[in-house]
Structure 1
Amino acid sequence: MNLEQPTEENLKYILEDLTERLGVVNRSLMDHEDYDLDKYDELKMMYDMIKQKGQLSAPETQAFISELRSVRKV
């Protein structure tokens, strides 16, 4: 899958994959409708960092989720 283009489908894929990788229990935080395509590049950068890093510690996961909140629409 080519995630370089900011599409709704790619945004949804990234958020769903991040939900699994981060073990997010409250899946409503990761609803793709709450994120703007204008922030796609930021989300993609964060996604790439998580993929590269692999496993995150609990504090790193919390920090990452906090960072995600900063790019949400709501």
Structure 2
Amino acid sequence: MDLSTTSRENIEYMIEEIKTKLQIVNAGALNAKSFDTDQYEDLRDIYEMIMSKQSFSVSELDAIVSELGKMRKR
């Protein structure tokens, strides 16, 4: 997948991968439609950081989920 291009499909892909990697139980809380394409670069940065790590502490998970929550459309 070429994530260098901003697209809805790439956002959906990244969100699905994030949910899988973080084993998010309430998957409905992270819906790709809740993210605007103008936040693409920030989302991609978070995605790349998550994919580069093997595991996460509880505080890291809280921070990631909090940041994703701030990025969601209201």
TM-score bracket relative to the smaller structure: over 0.9
Structure 1 segments, 4+ long, off by >3 Å, are none
2:33 aligned partner, one-letter code: E
1:43 corresponding residue in structure 2:
43
Q: Count residues in correspondence.
A: 74
2:32 corresponding residue in structure 1:
32
1:54-73 to 2 correspondences below 5 Å: 54-73=54-73
1:32 aligned partner, one-letter code: A
Q: So what's the TM-score if we normalise by structure 2?
A: 0.93
1:13 corresponding residue in structure 2:
13
1:53 corresponding residue in structure 2:
53
Q: So what's the TM-score if we normalise by structure 1?
A: 0.93
The unaligned stretches of length 5 or more in structure 1 are none
Give me the whole-angstrom Cα distance separating, in 2, the residues matched to 1:29 and 1:5. 25
CA RMSD of aligned residues (A): 0.9
% same residue: 34
SS in 1 for 2:3: coil
Shift of 1:54: 2.3
SS in 2 for 1:6: coil
